[in-house]
Amino acid sequence: MSKRDKQTADLEFVAGNGLIHRRMFLTQGAAMAGSLGLLSATPSHAEPLEIPPWMKAPGSHMSAYGQRSRYEDSVQRVVGGTPGVVGSGVSFTPIEKLHGTITPNSLHFERHHSGVPDIDPDGHQLLLHGLVDRPLVFSMDALMRYPTVTRIQFLECSGNSGTNLGPQAQQAPAGVLHGLMSCSEWTGVPLSILLEEAGVRRGANWVLAEGADAAGMSRSIPLEKMMDDAIIALYQNGERLRPENGYPMRLFLPGYEGNMSVKWLRRLKVNREPTMTRDETSHYTDVMLGGKALILTFPMGVKSLITSPSTGLNLTEPGRYEITGIAWSGAGKIARVEVSADGGNTWAEAALTEPVLSKSFTRFRMAWQWDGGPAVLMSRAIDESGSVQPTREALTREFGERRNYHNNGIQVWSVAARTGEVTNVYA
């Protein structure tokens, strides 16, 4: 038996079309990966390596603000706009080119309704009023003195993955299909502290949040959510927010649809009822079967996505691959991710990379032996509340074809026989 045949014989296949037990990632990870033939280094003949040009003279000096390597310049957000509307549109995080779970600030997705305001923090204030005993106004300096909390959590636009609600599967990178979501370490002041200071009056149930952009983006948020885990975010991944993410302050509502985390926050008004703003009636409503619409739909559903292989990340030759992706849920932690290589006939449990955090990205991995034949790759996430990520077909059956938001359906990638080309398909 050749070494390669021996390796194949040792594999513990756990589901159809070549999925291998996650044990290899959980125990003795690196050693197992080696014995399974996932390592791809070239054998060395022990000659000394040549001295490359960058070793022959000193490199560049220290810098006051770092930049990535110029060889990584192609990793960019994909920017989309709304024709004829100044400053309205989106940019997508290139999720298929990133790893781990933290999105670099420069690549965090964007959705603006009237462009990015250039806010001088010394001229910015936050007003807290409405059904409170003591209306308060906060300068930046005042707010910066409050106690803060820090959490790693995702932000997802409610319109994310909307392309896959269309009648035909579109061929685009995973980031363009699903990149209206990102994950950061957010640091900010708990809303509960500010609301308690102002003294919320009896009968209050909602809080209107308004942004300082030219659209005056406004949403109504349940008071219960504000008192639970809402923060006024000041820092993202350790540095002050970027302008496109709400500098100098934004609301951050863990697990809720992205636009409710109002950027450039300037006003909070405590109310009895939701305000029914333009942004929660004309936009962000879910048209259902029969033409009725759901409004005020907040938590993002349990979801996962294989980022590699995916469109444009084709397989090169038969052999062993790591299938990897991300999973998240607006309801809490990811409990389990399952992967299928045979179009959903059989499933195997993927390895989750620690730490598994609440309302955060969780990275999953699955070892796979591709035999060069056709394969249909899918992932499905299950969260700690027991919710299971649905298929696109199940969502369409329940909600019809006209919904624009909250698509947490399973992404299906087809791998072509021999060429290994990956395409977006509807199963």
Give SS3 for 328. strand
Contact 424, 168 (CB under 8 A): no
Cβ at position 272, least distance to Co ion in Å: 22
Nearest to 134 by CA among 194, 205, 227, 199: 199
Residue with smaller CB distance to Co ion, 96 or 279: 279
Which residue in this structure is represented by tokens 């999105």? 103
Beta bridge partners of 368: 19, 321
Distance of CA 360 to the CA centre of its chain: 8
Cβ at position 70, least distance to Co ion in Å: 40
Which tokens is 330 given?
Answer: 């607006």
Residue with smaller CB distance to Co ion, 76 or 404: 404
Cβ at position 154, least distance to Co ion in Å: 16
Distance of CA 29 to the CA centre of its chain: 26
Residue with smaller CB distance to Co ion, 300 or 378: 300
Nearest to 245 by CA among 108, 91, 76, 104: 108
Cβ at position 222, least distance to Co ion in Å: 13
Give the distance between the most distant pair of CA atoms in the chain.
81
Which tokens is 267 given?
Answer: 């006003």
- Count how many Cα atoms sit within 13 Å of the Cα of residue 324 in the half-sphere of its side chain: 18
- What is the C-alpha to C-alpha distance for residues 247 and 251, in angstroms, rounded to an integer? 11
Cβ at position 261, least distance to Co ion in Å: 13
Cβ at position 285, least distance to Co ion in Å: 7
Contacts to Co ion by CB under 5 A: 158, 257, 297
Distance of CA 291 to the CA centre of its chain: 30
Residue with smaller CB distance to Co ion, 96 or 286: 286
Cβ at position 260, least distance to Co ion in Å: 8
Residue with smaller CB distance to Co ion, 308 or 408: 408
Residue with smaller CB distance to Co ion, 93 or 158: 158
Contact 188, 233 (CB under 8 A): yes
Residue with smaller CB distance to Co ion, 101 or 158: 158
Q: Which residue is nearest to Co ion (CB)?
A: 297
